[in-house]
Amino acid sequence: MCNPIRLAVLVSGNGTNLQAFIDAIQLGELNAQIAVVLSDNPDAYALERANGGGIPVQSICRKDFLSKEAYELEMVEIIQRKAVDLILLAGFMRILSPTFLRNFPQKVLNIHPSLLPAFKGLDAQGQALNYGVKLSGCTVHFVDEGMDTGPIIQQAVVPVLPGDTREELALRIQKEEHRIFLEAVKLYQAGKLKIEGRRVKIMD
Ligand code: GAR
């Protein structure tokens, strides 16, 4: 049995990915502790989910800081104080700069609702619909300094069905997000992920 992994989860919105982790921990599917949930949005529903799970929360707004650097350094301090092993960007809608990332090398994972490198950035589901792709999906990747560019750990494919609304597609993708994000954290915890350049090797 592995040691419990200590997680920081960064959120901006609804928090269904956060909820999936809370549930997996409660069900004993993941041996982890969420040490802190950080939100850049004080109204994020994710904060209520965290409160419901008895998880310490902190909302930290960019506008309360003079610079992006000061903002990120505050987040670094909060996370370091919690002795976190891994940071999950679970719908956190900001780009983290090297000021943040150099403190946590290979310790930040992001979930994105497309098959990267397609449809980076905002509203990936809307971009996929507008482009007319027949398949879309989601990606878990290590975070680097680019936008949705880091080495890919897991991807899942979902069909885009005729007549899909953005919301219908987003829901179909989200179900897979919850599954592969959890899977990626388990692989990380088991020490099975090895980054070689752009590739992430999954060790047996
Ligand atoms: C998820 O679909 C996630 O992939 C996306 O935000 C949503 C958050 O949902 N993230 C991005 O687009 C990051 N580029 P949630 O708050 O319900 O977990």
Confidence bin at 3 (pLDDT 50/70/90): confident
- Cite the beta strand spans of the chain per DSSP E: 5-11, 32-39, 57-59, 86-89, 108-112, 135-142, 152-159, 193-196, 199-202
Domain residues of the chain, as ranges?
1-105, 110-204
Q: Are 80 and 107 in contact (CB under 8 A)?
A: no
CATH architecture of the domain formed by 110-204: 3-Layer(aba) Sandwich (3.40)
What is the predicted pLDDT for the residue at 204? 86
Pairing of strands 199-202, 193-196: antiparallel
Indicate the helix (H) or strand (E) that contains 81.
Answer: helix 68-81
Q: How far is the CA of 113 from the centre of ligand 1 (A)?
A: 7
CA 11 to chain centre: 8
**pLDDT category, 11, cuts 50, 70, 90?**
very high
Coil, strand, or helix at residue 64? Answer: helix
Q: How far is the CA of 1 from the centre of ligand 1 (A)?
A: 30
Q: φ, ψ for residue 37 (rounded to 5)?
A: -110, 125
Cα–Cα distance, 204 to 197 (Å, whole number):
19
* Amino acid making up residue 173: I
Pocket perturbation via mutation, ligand 1, pick of 49, 177, 180, 181 by most ligand atoms within 8 A of CB: 177
137 lines ligand 1 (CB under 6 A): no
Unique residue bearing structure tokens 């880091």:
150
Residue 13 in this model has a pLDDT that exceeds 60: yes
* 195 CB burial (10 A radius; 0-12, 13-18, 19+): middle
Q: What is the pLDDT of residues 49-97, one digit of tens each?
A: 999 999 999 999 999 999 999 999 999 999 999 999 999 999 999 999 9
- Under DSSP, the state recorded for 116 is T
27-53 per-position pLDDT tens digit: 999 999 999 999 999 999 999 999 999
Q: Is 31 in the pocket of ligand 1 (CB under 6 A)?
A: no
Q: Whose CA is nearest to atom 5 of ligand 1?
A: 91
**What is the distance between the alpha carbons of residues 110 and 181, in angstroms, rounded to a whole number?**
8
**pLDDT (0 to 100) of residue 2:** 59
Question: Is 1-105's fold the same as 110-204's?
Answer: yes
- The CATH code that applies to domain 1-105 is 3.40.50.170
In whole angstroms, give the CA distance from residue 92 to residue 118. Answer: 19
- The set of residues, in sequence order, having a beta carbon less than 8 Å from that of 156 and lying 6+ positions away, is 137, 138, 176, 177, 179, 180
pLDDT at 27: 98
Q: Is 73 helix (H, G, I), strand (E, B) or coil?
A: helix
For 91-138, what is each residue's pLDDT tens digit?
A: 999 999 999 999 999 999 999 999 999 999 999 999 999 999 999 999
Given a contact cutoff of 8 angstroms between Cβ atoms, the answer to whether 125 and 173 are in contact is yes
Give yes or no for residue 1 having a pLDDT over 70. no
